[in-house]
Chains A and B, each alone.
Chain A
Amino acid sequence: EIVLTQSPATLSLSPGERATLSCRASQSVRSYLAWYQQKPGQAPRLLIYDASSRATGIPARFSGSGSGTDFTLTISSLEPEDFAVYYCQQRYDWPLSFGGGTNVEIK
């Protein structure tokens, strides 16, 4: 079973600042990694697939990088609507798994 560890658990930042979120896999998942955003009471929303490809309609301030075991989601300049919880998910092997999430909160 592949375990995904996200850090930090909470990121306190101000609008306009840069956010850097980390996701580390317990074994290589190649580039089969996705990032989701979730707001309270809503279903998750796909931001990034295949580690670095932006999903349809996702602003260019969101970018993903990495391969193997270490991945990063970067939000270049936080907008008010970006404060939410972010999850990584590996799609490399069964069982699929999510990381524990990073809560990006307003400082």
Chain B
Amino acid sequence: EVQLVESGGGLVQPGGSLRLSCPASGFTFSSYAMSWVRQAPGRGLEWVSTISSSGVGTYYADSVKGRFTISRDNSKNTLYLQMNSLRAEDTAVYYCGIYIQTGSNEDYWGQGTLVTVSS
């Protein structure tokens, strides 16, 4: 059974930092690019970042570039998102999931972790 379980969310003050983790099981983690997608309360989905299967390639939304860092540890089957200089507008549920550009119907997502940025 495929499992992705996000953790690390919580309440943080503006300007603070958080590190999200997403351990994976049930599939060959090191073979897949991985993404973070977020959803602010009552809003739509927003793509945040993607990392290639090897970790060499990383991509970011303009809204988080320079503040967030995506990384992975294929030996631990875990995806990370380091979030610095957090702002109120970063408040959202953060989902991790696999990313495949084309040619596949595979679709794995975690249940999400809530990040609240507030004083």
Determine if A15 is an interface residue (Cβ-Cβ < 8 Å). no
Cβ B45 vs Cβ A98 within 8 A: yes
Complex-state Cα separation, A99 to B37, whole angstroms: 13
If A43-B95, A43-B112, A101-B45 touch, whether A95 touches B60 (CB-CB below 8 Å) is yes
In the complex, residue of chain B having the shortest beta-carbon distance to the beta carbon of A32:
B102
* Closest beta carbon of chain A to B82's beta carbon, Å: 19
Would you call A7 an interface residue if the criterion is a C-beta within 8 Å of the partner chain's C-beta atoms?
no
* Given known A1-B62, A91-B102, A94-B59, contact A55–B47 (CB-CB < 8 A): no
Binds B, one of A18-26, A45-53, A69-77: A45-53
Closest beta carbon of chain B to A28's beta carbon, Å:
15
Is B47 a contact partner of A95 (Cβ separation < 8 A)? yes
- Contact across chains for B110 and A49 when beta carbons are under 8 A apart: no
* A54 partner residues in chain B, CB cutoff 8 A: 105
Q: Which of B44, B99, B101, B104 contacts A101 (CB 8 A)?
A: B44
A25 to B95, CA, bound (A): 24
Most A CB within 10 A of own CB, among B50, B60, B102, B111: B102
A-side contacts of B47, CB under 8 Å: 89, 95-98
Answer yes or no: B103 CB below 8 A from chain A CBs: yes
Task: Name the interface residues of A12-42: CB closer than 8 Å to any CB of B.
Answer: 31-32, 36, 38
Please determine whether B111 and A43 come into contact, CB atoms closer than 8 angstroms. yes
Kindly state whether residue A8 has any CB partner on chain B within 8 Å.
no
Q: How far is the CA of A95 from the CA of B110 in the complex (A)?
A: 21
Complex CA–CA separation, A25 to B35 (angstroms): 21
Given known A32-B102, A95-B62, contact A46–B107 (CB-CB < 8 A) = yes
Also in contact, A50 and B50, with CB within 8 A (given A55-B107, A95-B61): no
B97 at the interface (CB under 8 A from A): yes
How many whole Å from B104's CB to the nearest CB in chain A?
7
Residues of B within 8 A of A50 (CB): 102-103
Given contacts A56-B105, A91-B99, A96-B47, 8 further A-B contacts (CB under 8 A): A43-B97, A45-B107, A49-B105, A55-B105, A56-B107, A85-B44, A87-B45, A98-B47
